Amino acid sequence: MVGVAEALNPRSIAVIGASRNPEKIGYVVLKQLLSKFRGKLYPINPSADEILGLKCYKSIMEVPDVVDLAVIAVPADHVIEVIKECGAKGVKAAVVLSSGFAEIGNRELEERLVEEARKGGVRIIGPNCMGIFDPGRGIDMLFVKEELLPRCKPGSIALLSQSGSVGTNMLSMLRRMNLGISTFVSYGNKADVDEADLLDVLADDERTRVITIYLEGVRDGRRLMNAIRRIRKPVVVLKVGRSEAGERAVASHTGSLAGSSRLYIAALRQAGAVIVDSMEELIDASKALSMQPPVMGKRVFIVTNGGGYGIMAVDELERRGMVVPKTPDEIKAVLKKEFPPYYSLENPIDLTANSTPDQYRMVLDILCNSEVCDAILVIPLMGIPNFDPMEVAEVISSMKCKRPVVVSFVSHTEETDKAKEIIEGSGIPVYESPERAARAIYFLYEYGRSYSGRGEADIPHSYRR
Amino acid sequence: MVGVAEALNPRSIAVIGASRNPEKIGYVVLKQLLSKFRGKLYPINPSADEILGLKCYKSIMEVPDVVDLAVIAVPADHVIEVIKECGAKGVKAAVVLSSGFAEIGNRELEERLVEEARKGGVRIIGPNCMGIFDPGRGIDMLFVKEELLPRCKPGSIALLSQSGSVGTNMLSMLRRMNLGISTFVSYGNKADVDEADLLDVLADDERTRVITIYLEGVRDGRRLMNAIRRIRKPVVVLKVGRSEAGERAVASHTGSLAGSSRLYIAALRQAGAVIVDSMEELIDASKALSMQPPVMGKRVFIVTNGGGYGIMAVDELERRGMVVPKTPDEIKAVLKKEFPPYYSLENPIDLTANSTPDQYRMVLDILCNSEVCDAILVIPLMGIPNFDPMEVAEVISSMKCKRPVVVSFVSHTEETDKAKEIIEGSGIPVYESPERAARAIYFLYEYGRSYSGRGEADIPHSYRR
């Protein structure tokens, strides 16, 4: 892991190909690092003395200090020469943003790059990538300006993607959902550093609670499976290119063989990864796993006051193999005394449009302390009389629950957005459709699967609740 | 259909239970109708002479004119008396907004209501419903104020939902996607008028291109199947309550038996309905079917400049049973002459981040005029050099295509939002993820299935393209 750890947490960064032209990548990256990065920063450009007020060096060899990480933004045909110098300087890692390698058919150039990097002891992230974005550490190599790509806040999701375009789009999705990230790494052609290397480093990153991977090709399946098996954090994987035509497309897009995707997916799941089917699921699963502990069994109870939404959740849960058991008689007996006869006490427990936040509290208290369920799905229907969203938020966020909890409400008013913020602030994820919330519970269960047999006490994470 | 047609397109409406209290449903509904409805409007309230500047009648019997539709917002125990008067007055249809019937266990009251309505020749929509919203005709009975539920614009989607809460939420989703509706009908307990009645009327509504149904329980399966079989417009159905627990929940929510959902779903599909699995799919399918003709075969070609997104689309298409065939040699030969060797000419055709809008035009021209594909999925990757979203929008929106076309791009900038507006203005739907766009093509194919054997010439709709 020497090199990869430095790349993700450098004390000093050299920007090779730093530029004075605001249209150039070498300018955008330097400017971002200058305004955010708290370590040392060295612009390298043979034809400038100073850029953005920083002293500029003609070559990395001239930097009078240890350099942990080089960010390279020079034309492809200069990269090898620059990597040689990095090796000579003792730089442990380089992010090669430059394109013009295997992705346009220049495989030979890419092979020579890797060869020279190995000789010099430099680990390579890239080439043809967007590099690293770590808002907590002020590392930002995304060469898309903030006006076009508003940045995510710091948080607990680590996002790995070969593709810079898919990766930055996922950052936008996370931001729209108000989720934060620990690190984002785009590693482009994956000539050297791959997912397994990154997982090994992220295993020790205390800020990271879940690792989210957008995966096209797999180069060394066994290494990846082992890395997933080793890490004691949830790893969520969207493996694309699953079918024949999909594999063909992966092969031509990344130059790597996708090969036997079905086998890979089965092996990834076997190793403990949570496998998802779309970008939306990738984000939804990551959100749930970054906030809630694993679900250790299949029994889900649903509490709602909007019948239709409860039914949609049941459909999705059962489609995913989860179970929605009947409410035990002893619980029904307690509730029957408190509620009007037309409330449905079967699971989903439907308190109808006449319910109050206090009635929710009563039901949730009972379920939270009972042994009859493995997870609770709460679906408040907002916008009805006597049902103040703030009060509902207070009830849900103050629950002391032995079981994982997921919430859904479909409203989008200023008030319900505030309610969502309060609930998520307490560590309980809120989804905008009952089906997505139901799927989130399934993903928590999928992660729980990897602990089956060990018992809950062995779950290694300090989740918020 | 006597009665139901009048309900959906009345020349005069009486609001029974009209109120001067702005908190009351009878006020909100009257106020909305007053500001929007172009027909005659009669408030009915025994203890008021005038409401909102309109002369108020003590009973519907006093109205000196024909009344096509009565909207009833009086307490449950007064509804039967009011319905008798409607019958005596010759009113053909009544929307009963009032709750307090079967949904809280008062089945007997509901049965008596239906009995009296039948005697008087009045068709009932409801009770316990949100009634009708038709923005084109200015009919708005939604008793949620516009601040909380901003209204959809007029359009070509007819939305049917027993549940007012699910229905209004879907209206919000449609509005956020900038889609318009012809009519929304929430029919609550479905004591009388049901989906089959409404389909028969919507068959003749020229504004309606697609009928979108959120379905909990089915009362008379055969009638519904026959209505779907008769209508020559796409019918998209989300049938909830599919599993044992789901059926239990439907039974307790609507008081109707869900029964054998799997059989119903198979029968609905057999009758020609497009079956979907979630609210998101319900909206996505309706959007596609309101804009594009059916897809008459399984072969889809994908054109993109963002490799990863093309692969995600392939995965979803193949998951749904669609086919992504290889590009025929004769087409590759033509393209090879024009493009750099690293462009991938296999399907997905990936023009890479170096592509231009003109190169898109060239590929799309060839595909649009070829017999090798049944549908085209275009996935432009925005935010790269030499690739102006407005130019891309112009290329796509000006295509003359023999085949259905669906577009996806994942960006959400001001410029790409404008590009989306232009493309959708030309009748081509744009989705925010490649998977959703791929699914939309599958839904167009699902509708095409119901025409298999008849040939494209028989497709009855005048779609925009």
User: For the residues B327-354, what does the mean pLDDT come to?
Assistant: 93
Q: Both B251 and B300 in a single domain?
A: no
- pLDDT of residue A261 exceeding 90: no
Please judge whether B249 and A307 are an interchain contact, meaning their C-beta atoms are less than 8 angstroms apart. yes
Work out the end-to-end distance of chain B between its first and last CA atoms, rounded to an integer number of angstroms: 32
Quote the pLDDT of residue A460: 46
Is A465 inside any structural domain? no
Q: Which is more confidently placed, A258 or A265?
A: A265
Q: Both A230 and A216 in a single domain?
A: yes
Report chain B's mean pLDDT, rounded to a whole number: 92
Q: Does B318 touch chain A (CB under 8 A)?
A: yes
Q: How many domains does chain B have?
A: 2
Quote the pLDDT of residue A421: 96
As a whole-number percent, the residues of chain A with pLDDT over 90 amount to 81
Q: Does A256 touch chain B (CB under 8 A)?
A: no
Q: Both B188 and B323 in a single domain?
A: no
Q: Which of A243, A312, A314 sits opposite B315 (nearest CB)?
A: A243
Q: Both B248 and B357 in a single domain?
A: no
Please judge whether A319 and B277 are an interchain contact, meaning their C-beta atoms are less than 8 angstroms apart. yes
Confidence of residue A149 (pLDDT cuts 50, 70, 90): confident
Q: Does A108 touch chain B (CB under 8 A)?
A: no
Last residue of a domain, one of A248, A275, A290: A290
Is A463 inside any structural domain? no
Is B464 inside any structural domain? no
Is A464 inside any structural domain? no
pLDDT tens string B148-176: 888 999 999 999 999 998 999 999 999 99
Is B463 inside any structural domain? no
Q: Which of B241, B315, B353 sits opposite A246 (nearest CB)?
A: B315
- pLDDT of residue A113 exceeding 80: yes
Are the CB atoms for B253 and B161 separated by under 8 Å?
A: no
Q: Which of A104, A105, A245 sits opposite B347 (nearest CB)?
A: A245
Q: Does A144 touch chain B (CB under 8 A)?
A: yes
Quote the pLDDT of residue B24: 93
β-pair partners for B41 = B13
Q: Does B278 touch chain A (CB under 8 A)?
A: yes
User: For the residues B20-42, what does the mean pLDDT come to?
Assistant: 96
- pLDDT of residue B252 exceeding 90: no
pLDDT tens string B68-108: 999 999 999 999 999 999 999 999 999 999 999 998 889 99
- Distance, in angstroms, between A341 CA and closest chain B CA? 8
Give A-chain residues touching B249 at CB under 8 angstroms: 307, 310-311, 314, 344, 346, 348, 350
Q: Both A274 and A320 in a single domain?
A: no
- pLDDT of residue A454 exceeding 50: no
Q: Both A150 and A184 in a single domain?
A: yes
Confidence of residue B180 (pLDDT cuts 50, 70, 90): very high
pLDDT tens string A35-72: 999 999 999 999 999 999 999 999 999 999 999 999 99
Give B-chain residues touching A241 at CB under 8 angstroms: 311, 314-315
- pLDDT of residue B382 exceeding 90: no
- pLDDT of residue A178 exceeding 60: yes
Last residue of a domain, one of B252, B271, B290: B290
Q: Both A151 and A282 in a single domain?
A: yes
Q: What are phi and psi of B100, to 5 degrees?
A: 110, 25
Please judge whether B353 and A307 are an interchain contact, meaning their C-beta atoms are less than 8 angstroms apart. no
Q: Helix, strand, or coil here: B350?
A: strand
Give A-chain residues touching B253 at CB under 8 angstroms: 307-308, 310-311, 344, 350
Q: Which of A241-250, A374-383, A441-450, B455-464 has the lowest mean pLDDT?
A: B455-464
Q: Which of A344, A410, A413 sits opposite B252 (nearest CB)?
A: A344
Quote the pLDDT of residue A256: 54
Quote the pLDDT of residue B264: 85
The three-state (H, E, C) secondary structure of chain A, written as one string: CCCHHHHHCCCEEEEECCCCCCCCHHHHHHHHHHHHCCCEEEEECCCCCEECCEECECCHHHCCCCCCEEEECCCHHHHHHHHHHHHHHCCCEEEECCCCCHHHCCHHHHHHHHHHHHHHCCEEECCCCCEEEECCCCEECCCCCCCCCCCCCEEEEEEEECCHHHHHHHHHHHHHCCCCEEEEEECCCCCCCCHHHHHHHHCCCCCCCEEEEEECCCCCHHHHHHHHHHCCCCEEEEECCCCHHHHHHHHHHHCCCCCCHHHHHHHHHHHCCEEECCHHHHHHHHHHHHHCCCCCCCEEEEEECCHHHHHHHHHHHHHCCCECCCCCHHHHHHHHHHCCCCCECCCCEECCCCCCHHHHHHHHHHHHCCCCCCEEEEECCCCCCCCCHHHHHHHHHCCCCCCCEEEECCCCCHHHHHHHHHHHHCCCCEECCHHHHHHHHHHHHHHHHCCCCCCHHHCCCCCCC
Closest chain B residue to A310, measured at CA: B249
Q: Both B68 and B217 in a single domain?
A: yes
Quote the pLDDT of residue B452: 60
Q: Does A314 touch chain B (CB under 8 A)?
A: yes
- pLDDT of residue A457 exceeding 60: no
Is B167 inside any structural domain? yes
- pLDDT of residue A462 exceeding 60: no
- Distance, in angstroms, between B311 CA and closest chain A CA? 5
Closest chain A residue to B352, measured at CA: A253
User: For the residues B375-388, what does the mean pLDDT come to?
Assistant: 89
Confidence of residue B461 (pLDDT cuts 50, 70, 90): very low
User: For the residues B235-252, what does the mean pLDDT come to?
Assistant: 80
Q: Which of A18-32, A297-311, B346-360, B445-459 has the lowest mean pLDDT?
A: B445-459
Is B209 inside any structural domain? yes
- pLDDT of residue A277 exceeding 80: yes
- Distance, in angstroms, between A100 CA and closest chain B CA? 11
Please judge whether B163 and A308 are an interchain contact, meaning their C-beta atoms are less than 8 angstroms apart. yes
Q: Which CATH number characterizes residue B128's domain? A: 3.40.50.720
Q: Is the ipTM of this complex over 0.95?
A: no
- pLDDT of residue B11 exceeding 80: yes
Please judge whether B347 and A413 are an interchain contact, meaning their C-beta atoms are less than 8 angstroms apart. no
Q: Does A321 touch chain B (CB under 8 A)?
A: no
Q: Which of B45-49, B206-210, B242-246 has the lowest mean pLDDT?
A: B242-246
Q: Could you list the residue range(s) of the whole structural domain that residue B177 is in? A: 4-290
Q: Both A272 and A323 in a single domain?
A: no
- Distance, in angstroms, between A413 CA and closest chain B CA? 7
Q: Which of A167-176, A325-334, B247-256 has the lowest mean pLDDT?
A: B247-256
Q: Both A310 and A181 in a single domain?
A: no
As a whole-number percent, the residues of chain B with pLDDT over 90 amount to 81
Confidence of residue A410 (pLDDT cuts 50, 70, 90): confident
Q: Does B347 touch chain A (CB under 8 A)?
A: yes
Give B-chain residues touching A252 at CB under 8 angstroms: 307, 344, 346, 350
Is A429 inside any structural domain? yes
For chain A positions 49-88, those within 8 Å of chain B (CB to CB) are none
Closest chain B residue to A280, measured at CA: B433
Quote the pLDDT of residue A465: 37
Chain B interface test: which of A261, A315, A339 (most B C-beta within 10 Å): A315
- pLDDT of residue A461 exceeding 50: no
Q: Both A252 and A367 in a single domain?
A: no
Q: Both A216 and A363 in a single domain?
A: no
Q: Which CATH number characterizes residue B347's domain? A: 3.40.50.261
Last residue of a domain, one of B274, B290, B306: B290
